[in-house]
Amino acid sequence: MRGSGIMIREAAAFRDKLSVAHWPCVLAGDFNFTPSDPAYSLAIGDDLLPEQEQIVHPSRVVHSSLDPSVLLNLPATPIGADEDDVEAVDPDRVITNARPAKPEDGLLTIPEIVAWFRKLPRLRSAYSDGIAAARGHGYDLPTFGTRAQPPTGRRGSEEPEYTSYTYYWKFSADYIFFIDPPTISGSVTGLLAPLTTAELEPGIPKLGVSGSDHTVLVTELNW
């Protein structure tokens, strides 16, 4: 989440450094978060839901690289896990070699993180805008919202249903984001339709479908 904010800040700063504030910025790739993640919500301008704040709390830690004393008091296994359960723990959800942050550590609180994102340029999602427009014209495209059913009114429901689909994991984490110039609002004039679950089964890479474990995202943007 903090990394996303830094990326947005630096992209806008780079544009300003080149004296091309009238240019849009396009940020695309695997962001490693889903449309229901706190990082997505903050980047596109939504407030955090209470359940999203609970996701952020465990990430407010200080790593042993900054405080070596952390290593002196580590449990033998992840907190709350038996030794027999360690292999079943998702490594992406467990923070190791770290301790909870203290006020004197200077880490931003959740309200401070939200306030920081509000000062940054707001990202727009090309696929979210494009799929919403296409569905408005009668196109039945698979979406994240149909699968995950996020709360009504939250942005992100119009993202592709899946952008990675393998035997071991299935999720949506790839995006084409853009930042509008100050005086011009961009529009999505075309996109490559997301693949359906039937096309992705039993998983990708798959001959004739995708040579990667991620799908291809293509949009046409106009300013």
pLDDT tens-digit profile of 43-101?
A: 999 999 999 999 887 777 777 776 677 667 665 445 444 444 444 444 555 667 777 77
pLDDT given at position 73: 67
pLDDT classification of 208: cutoffs 50, 70, 90: very high
Average pLDDT score over residue span 162-173: 95
Residue 198: partners with Cβ closer than 8 Å, 6 or more residues away: none
pLDDT, the chain, mean: 87
Strands (E), 113-163: 124-125
Q: Which fold has domain 2-60+108-222?
A: Deoxyribonuclease I; Chain A (3.60.10)
d(C-alpha 44, C-alpha 85), whole Å? 37
What is the DSSP track for 203-222? -SSBTTTBSSSB----EEEE
pTM value? 0.83
* 127 neighbors 159 (Cβ within 8 angstroms): yes
